[in-house]
Structure 1
Amino acid sequence: MNKSPAIGAATLALLAGAAQPSAARADSWSAWSAAWAASPQAPATGFTPNWSQEGFSRQSVRQVVRVTQGGDRIRIRLSNAYGTSPLVVTGATVARTGAGAALRPHSVRELTFGGRRSVSIPAHGELRSDAAWLTVDRLDPVTVTLYFAGTTGPATFHAQGFTDTYRAEGDHRADVSGGAFGASSQSWYYLSGVEVGGRSTGDGIALLGDSITDGFGSTPGTNRRYSDALAERTGRPVVNAGIGGNLVLNDSAWYGERATARFGRDVLDQPGVGTVVVLEGLNDIGFSEARKGPVPQPTYVPAPVVSSAELIAGYRELIRQAHGRGLTAVGATLLPFKGSDHWGAHAARVSDEVNDWIRTSGAFDAVVDFDKALASKSDPDRLAPAYDSGDALHPDDAGYRVMARALAEVL
């Protein structure tokens, strides 16, 4: 097992490539586009394996993402937003993805940070790497490997990745083979963004939401979230700013900061984004119902009962922030949810009031009516059976494709 924080000189030569321009020169070239994102969350209990609480020590973490924009150089965004001490990243690489944890030969590039291989990210901080020269096409899978020679402590992460992340003992950031990566989870750790340079058009789309935006109910490992389907359909860069369980109006240790508070970090700070789609509110109005149900969910936030006026005020704040930065704000109606643990008389009434406001107020620049697109013909308060993942709340793969088609028509 190689425990050294340094990579051998011969390996570094292979990583860099003899004809690669300098990172500083790459950074000085044209604009960047956010090509993938995952909204950071605080370390949490209740996950298996629980790497967010355990953190990492003398371990390599290999994470696979699919970029929604192509370019000739690439950089990553790392977040220590919920760390209580500095995070030391001993080294990092980026490469085109092979099978599983393997990398495509001759594609591995070492990442630097201000020209240095190792970097310390302050508690509650984040940073971007320097540019690395690596040509990627739209919808290519890309693999980022982080090595931690020291002990990180609990890790800032994104809980619901629905994609395998791999871990190896020792320093394997440059390994083309995935053989050393014997453990896996379906969360992302510290990695909060991948950006590409060279072809920015400023027409990127950020999807702000909860577990429906995050992709709960889609088939893991297949990139079938509605964000994926939208990128495939429109050809535009799409970043997913969904967090399972997130609320518009209240913070949660489990489900992240409220949407109005994280909007700047997760949407406005994404380069190349010109449009934001807001699909949130079911948890604000439904968590109180879920906690009263026959099988109470202890992790749900004991949030106060929310009125439509309060939720609308939250939407207006999101619109204000978007317009303040010149973004187009698209409002999405809340999906049908009768039969789910979020359903109840109050939640049903507020959902109808909120959806009516989204459709008719003119506050959003455009509206996509997911409620009507996914409703059952026999009972419009329910998800159509063909689009229900099984809990009467989250769509399945087919439902997410319908959402992408409906949204593409209004963009």
Structure 2
Amino acid sequence: MRIPLLAILPIGLIAVIAAPVIAAGHGPSRPPSWIATWTAAPHAPVPGNDFDGPNWSVPGFTDTTVRQVVRTSAGGSQVRVRLSNAYGIKPLRIAGASIGRTGPGASVQPGTVRTLGFGRHSWAVVPPGGALASDAVDVRVSPLESLTVTLYFAEYTGPATFHQDGLTTTYRAAGDHRDDAGAAAFAGETSRSRYFLTGVDVAGAPPVRDVVVAFGDSITDGHGTRAGADNRYPDQLAERSATGRRPVAVVNAGIGGNKLLADSPCYGDRATARFGRDVLDQPGVRAVVVLEGVNDIGAGGYPDFGCGASPKARTADLVHAHRMLIRAAHQRGVRIIGATVTPMKNFTGYYDADKERVRDEVNRWIRGGGEYDAVADLDRLLADPRDPDALRAEFDSGDGLHLNDAGADAIAAAVFRVLA
């Protein structure tokens, strides 16, 4: 099978080549001006666990259709998807793909299924370490609308580049069901992870032109909020923005367990390493909210349980990492908002006097250092007034660290005020 040229091109070039030419007068129109409307930050495949649930990343897929639901944050008249084989060990062969408006469960609304093309082919190959954007599809997309992306893998994919804690049901079926509107073929096992799908973009979407990226760990990723409810803080921020005076797209680049300073085979590349890919390369990015560091501090001193060792975090090292993110954002003209590290006292193993001292020192620097363009002081917002090292009970999902829906909404309201 001949590999299309776009399978080996950088994603920026793919966006130009893959866009169809639409007649306007006597000349071709400009390529679409894409903005990200949804993202999931990719990481290496790992086995499922009791904390995050089962997933299919390690075995991968053969003769399997995978159906994934996303919720947009901004609308447009054209849509495309982005796929990643960043952690693949072999070329990823996509035999076919489609997109449609989400129906109940695994179904797609009748008459809305559209084939996704790749350089005008119905199939594509993504090399190990590579990424790929589909061609544009003319579909009217509304803000806060759910879309279903379906991928068919005829050949063995190898272990899957994925995003573990998706909090939204993903479906799979044996055989090729990319064009099925009904859900019958997908009645078997489900997962809450994302596979290969890292972005959905829209074009032709006035008045939304700017993208805000929420960058962080499991608190940004939404762990502790209700599964299937789209109540992560970036989701609730998107809802506030959609009805605001100056709407923006909001996309989520959180990874559960992520750290500023250390790579992890389970929890993704360190924040300073993945910032370019997961934030600065998002189409249309104009601002980023950084909420990172609690895992460096709280897990500091942990031995390697299979997900990498956790050296004790020093204030100076954490501040240096924050400065690296600030410098990278400013070099690209992106506004960067620092969020203080949230309370962690009652999360098992994350608290002692030395760790709390580091958290306090980092937060004082974020608040008063004057290096972030703006600050969302989540520490003071979420802290128990009677015990400022601990999370307020009304915001606690039950483990002392992760937020419930009300806590996520409190963060969304605070960030919305900073963005205004």
Q: Normalising by structure 1, report the TM-score.
A: 0.91
- Correspondence 1:307 to 2:303: no
Work out the CA distance in 2 between the residues paired with 1:396 and 1:176. 34
Select which of 41, 54, 63 maps to 2:43.
41
Q: How does 1:11-410 map to 2 (within 5 A)?
A: 24-25=20-21, 28-47=30-49, 48-182=53-187, 183-199=189-205, 201-235=208-242, 236-288=248-300, 291=302, 298-299=305-306, 301-341=308-348, 342-410=350-418
- In structure 2, what is the equivalent of residue 19 of structure 1? none
Structure 2 unaligned spans of 5+: 1-17, 23-28, 243-247
| Letter of the structure 1 residue corresponding to residue 234 of structure 2 | S
SS of equivalent to 2:229:
coil
| Letter of the structure 1 residue corresponding to residue 386 of structure 2 | S
Q: Is the 8 A contact 1:287 1:300 kept in 2?
A: no
Work out the CA distance in 2 between the residues paired with 1:89 and 1:380. 51
- In structure 2, what is the equivalent of residue 13 of structure 1? none
Work out the CA distance in 2 between the residues paired with 1:347 and 1:243. 22
| Letter of the structure 1 residue corresponding to residue 193 of structure 2 | S
Work out the CA distance in 2 between the residues paired with 1:288 and 1:237. 35
Q: Is the 8 A contact 1:287 1:301 kept in 2?
A: no
Work out the CA distance in 1 between the residues paired with 2:319 and 2:263. 17
Alignment size in residue pairs: 385
Q: CA deviation at 1:23?
A: 5.4
Per-residue CA deviation, residues 84-114 of structure 1 (Å, 9 max, x unaligned), is 1100000000101000100011111100111
- In structure 1, what is the equivalent of residue 4 of structure 2? none
| Letter of the structure 2 residue corresponding to residue 45 of structure 1 | P
Q: Is the 8 A contact 1:44 1:53 kept in 2?
A: yes
SS of equivalent to 2:300:
helix
| Letter of the structure 1 residue corresponding to residue 158 of structure 2 | G
Structure 1 unaligned spans of 5+: 1-21
Q: CA deviation at 1:50?
A: 3.4
Per-residue CA deviation, residues 301-331 of structure 1 (Å, 9 max, x unaligned), is 4221111110000000000110011000000
- In structure 2, what is the equivalent of residue 15 of structure 1? none
Q: Report the CA distance shift for 1:299/1:386 in structure 2 as closer, same or farther (over 3 A).
A: farther
Work out the CA distance in 2 between the residues paired with 1:298 and 1:110. 43
Q: Is the 8 A contact 2:340 2:367 kept in 1?
A: yes
SS of equivalent to 1:127:
strand
Work out the CA distance in 1 between the residues paired with 2:105 and 2:99. 15
| Letter of the structure 2 residue corresponding to residue 277 of structure 1 | V
Q: Is the 8 A contact 1:287 1:302 kept in 2?
A: no
Per-residue CA deviation, residues 13-70 of structure 1 (Å, 9 max, x unaligned), is xxxxxxxxx9512694441110000000101023454310110000100000001010
Per-residue CA deviation, residues 163-203 of structure 1 (Å, 9 max, x unaligned), is 00000111000000011002210000000000001016432
Between 342-351 and 166-175, the greater mean CA deviation after superposition: 342-351
SS of equivalent to 1:144:
strand
| Letter of the structure 2 residue corresponding to residue 25 of structure 1 | V
Q: CA deviation at 1:347?
A: 1.2
Q: Is the 8 A contact 1:247 1:281 kept in 2?
A: yes
Pairwise CA RMSD: 1.5
Per-residue CA deviation, residues 91-142 of structure 1 (Å, 9 max, x unaligned), is 0001010001000111111001111111000001001000011111000000
| Letter of the structure 2 residue corresponding to residue 123 of structure 1 | P
- In structure 2, what is the equivalent of residue 6 of structure 1? none
Q: Report the CA distance shift for 1:49/1:390 in structure 2 as closer, same or farther (over 3 A).
A: closer
What percent identity do the matched residue pairs reach? 51
Work out the CA distance in 2 between the residues paired with 1:111 and 1:252. 33
Q: Normalising by structure 2, report the TM-score.
A: 0.89
SS of equivalent to 2:310:
coil
Q: CA deviation at 1:367?
A: 0.3
